[in-house]
Amino acid sequence: MKYESQGIAKMYFIAAIALFVGQILFGVTMGLQYVMGDFLFPEIPFNVARMVHTNLLIVWLLFGFMGSAYFLVPEEAERELYAPWLAKLMFWIFLVAGALTILGYLLVPYARLAELTMNDLLPTMGREFLEQPTITKIGIVIVALAFIYNIGMTVLTGRKTVINVVLLTGLVGLAVFFLFSFYNPDNLVMDKYFWWFVVHLWVEGVWELIMASLLAYVLIKVTGVDREVIEKWLYIIIAMALISGLVGTGHHFFWIGTPDYWQWLGSIFSALEPIPFFMMTLFAFNVVNKRRRDHPNKAAVLWALGTAVMAFLGAGVWGFLHTLAPINFYTHGTQITAAHGHMAFYGAYVMVVLTMISYSMPLMRGQKAANVTAQKIEIWSFWTMTLSMVAITLFLTAAGVMQVYLQRYSADPLPFMVVQDKLAVFYWLREVAGLIFLSGLFLYLYSFFAKGEEVKLVEE
Amino acid sequence: MRETFTKGMARNIYYGGGIFFFLVLIGLTVDTVRSLPKTDNSQNLTELVIEGKRVWEVNNCIGCHTLLGEGAYFAPELGNVYTRFGESTESIKAFIKYRPVEGIPGRRSMPQFNLTEEELEAVAQFLKYTDGIKTARDWPPNIQG
């Protein structure tokens, strides 16, 4: 760690990991509700558990992105953070706002929460992933603005590298597209259309810029490969992400009352969306193979390779599976979508944040890399979580294929709930895989506390 | 990558491609918004339907159901529920109204939301309006959603 203010990342990462644990606890709860419908009913109905599960994911990834930026940007800009106090203040505001929102979901009925937070003044609640009370959304905007100001001033008054400029672009895009969450037209088709300007343009747009720049940074650090080479890769990856992903938004406009031409445009452009993820995989392996040093942090290298591969599988391959309009006609809004969502979010965004944490946490704790035992445990947790997420995805895919056949494709389609009962075996298997994922997460937590032999440092 | 392909070229593709396709998306969006009145059933977007959309939102219905395929996958698709319930808003209202408070043992249950008569009518009218949106190929594929 070269600059003292980089250490601010630590509190962000600790909060991120704590919320990650909460997210998974609610995940296994929902998994059980899929097969034991009355579990925790009516205290925590499925819709509440799901809202907590998805909102915690978004909030902890944002903590992860912010922490990553606070660690990376000063080093790239070769100066201390512009306003460390602001970063600390925003941390507490964001944490308290996030915690209050989650408590609001759990402690009062959602309709009451809407009343308490005066949703009527500017109704934005009750849309998937954007369930936060309007006041929380305003809080998110304030935190995002302060964060971008802080990071932006650090970049602008320091050394501008491709990595920190791309990261900053991604973060600004994140904040700008979030503003669409305040636009909630009465016309449902319009509502749905612009809802995707937050959701799609985040995860299949600007977040890819963030992901690619974080990955590029860690790869420079752990491989010692020439910056010029890495920056060229970075540009071409994010170029492909935008070229495919912007008009690729159209794959969400097949069946919501939008014009038919989206079937062609959405299919063609989203069929290209795996390309940037495939290039990320090529990039990561290529750069690691050409490494100029063997970094003592083996776990971080594994996470970096892992996120490239899993993002390609989850976002690229599983996305492509159901992105063509004639196929999506049958699969839209089934467990196939759930399968894709799980592996894509884990592979791309969870893993890239864990890559940054893996690389930076030892440095912030005054080590070059975690001790041998801790790394061994972290690597075990990598495989436990990653393989169980693969299992979750495969079981949900199997459930989805069967659901599509029974409910949508066969000559004599069955009602939704009848089909759900027939899928119980896959949901049970998914739940077991979810519990294994949770155990992997506990292993991950333990890796931060494990004592052991210090890593041998090779002279560079 | 080969040396003939320089970083400068990669950067130009990023900026050029990004800006170009962003403008394409904006153009397509303008065209889409203009042509929506043909399909979006906005002629039936009454005050009651708008109130119904609010009831739908503040009870977080999307947390279990899909609506035109978007939402959670825990409970049935509701984009065509009006058709599925025999084109009867009364059936929809009755279904929502008589959900047991404690649920059904061992089964997935819809919560009892204690909606007023007006809210029930509004949300039922909202679902009827949604059913009237002309989706491509008349999605969903069949009445089961």
Give residue limits of the domains in chain B: 1-38, 41-138
Whole-angstrom Cα distance, residue A66 to residue A64? 5
- Residue B139 near chain A (CB below 8 Å): yes
Name the residue among B39, B69, B113 with its Cβ closest to that of A333.
B69
Residue A372, classified by CB atoms within 10 Å of its CB into exposed (0-12), middle (13-18) or buried (19+), is middle
Whole-angstrom Cα distance, residue A14 to residue B8? 39
Residues A55-68 have pLDDT tens digits of 999 999 999 999 99
Quick one: pLDDT at residue A458? 62
B-interface mutation test, from A52, A167, A183, A187, most B Cβ less than 10 A away = A187
Name the residue among B32, B60, B68 with its Cβ closest to that of A47.
B60
Cβ neighbours of residue B141 closer than 8 Å, sequence gap 6 or more? A329, A330, A408, A409, A413
- Residue B37 near chain A (CB below 8 Å): no
Q: Which of A10, A21, A6, A8 is nearest to A444 (CA)?
A: A21
Average pLDDT over residues A349-370: 97
Name the residue among B22, B42, B73 with its Cβ closest to that of A187.
B42
Q: Which fold has domain B41-138?
A: Cytochrome Bc1 Complex; Chain D, domain 2 (1.10.760)
CB–CB contacts below 8 A, A to B: 236
Whole-angstrom Cα distance, residue A333 to residue B72? 8
Q: Which stretch of DSSP H or E encloses residue A54?
A: helix A46-77
- Which residues of chain A make contact with B10, given a CB cutoff of 8 A? 232-233, 235-236, 239
Residues A181-206 have pLDDT tens digits of 999 999 999 999 999 999 999 999 99
Task: Test B10 with A235 for CB contact under 8 angstroms.
Answer: yes
- Residue B136 near chain A (CB below 8 Å): yes
Closest CA in chain B for residue A286: B1
Is the pLDDT confidence value at A459 over 60? no
ipTM confidence: 0.97
CA B89 to chain A, closest CA, distance in angstroms equals: 19
Task: Test B54 with A34 for CB contact under 8 angstroms.
Answer: no
pLDDT band at B1 (very low <50, low <70, confident <90, very high): low
Quick one: pLDDT at residue B133? 98
Q: Are A311 and A344 in contact (CB under 8 A)?
A: yes
Average pLDDT over residues A310-314: 98
Task: Test A332 with B74 for CB contact under 8 angstroms.
Answer: no
Show which of residues 78-97 on chain B sit within 8 Å of chain A, judged by CB atoms.
none
Is the entire prediction scored with pTM above 0.80?
Answer: yes
In chain B, where does DSSP find H-type helix? 7-35, 47-58, 81-84, 89-97, 117-131
In A78-133, where does DSSP find H-type helix? 84-107, 110-116
CA B117 to chain A, closest CA, distance in angstroms equals: 16
- Which residues of chain B make contact with A236, given a CB cutoff of 8 A? 1, 10, 13-14
Class of the CATH domain delimited by A225-447: mainly alpha
Whole-angstrom Cα distance, residue B11 to residue B85? 56
Residue A224, both tokens: 């010692």
Q: Alpha-carbon torsion A420, B143, B76, B73, what sign?
A: positive
Query: Does B76 sit behind a cis peptide bond, omega within 30 degrees of 0 on the bond before it?
Result: no
Quick one: pLDDT at residue B4? 85
Quick one: pLDDT at residue A457? 75
Q: Which of A253, A247, A307, A249 is nearest to A277 (CA)?
A: A307
Task: Test A246 with B33 for CB contact under 8 angstroms.
Answer: no
Closest CA in chain B for residue A421: B107
Q: Are A13 and A66 in contact (CB under 8 A)?
A: no
Q: Are A258 and A232 in contact (CB under 8 A)?
A: no
A143 phi/psi in degrees, rounded to 5 = -60, -45
Name the residue among B14, B139, B140 with its Cβ closest to that of A239.
B14
Whole-angstrom Cα distance, residue A270 to residue A395? 24
Task: Test A338 with B73 for CB contact under 8 angstroms.
Answer: yes
* Radius of gyration in angstroms for the set of CA atoms belonging to chain B, rounded to a whole number: 22
A336 residue type, one letter: I
β-bridge partners, B70: B67
Residues A227-250 have pLDDT tens digits of 999 999 999 999 999 999 999 999
**Largest CA-CA distance found in chain B, in angstroms, rounded:** 72
Backbone dihedral region for residue A333 (phi beyond 0: left; psi -120 to 50: alpha; all else: beta) = left
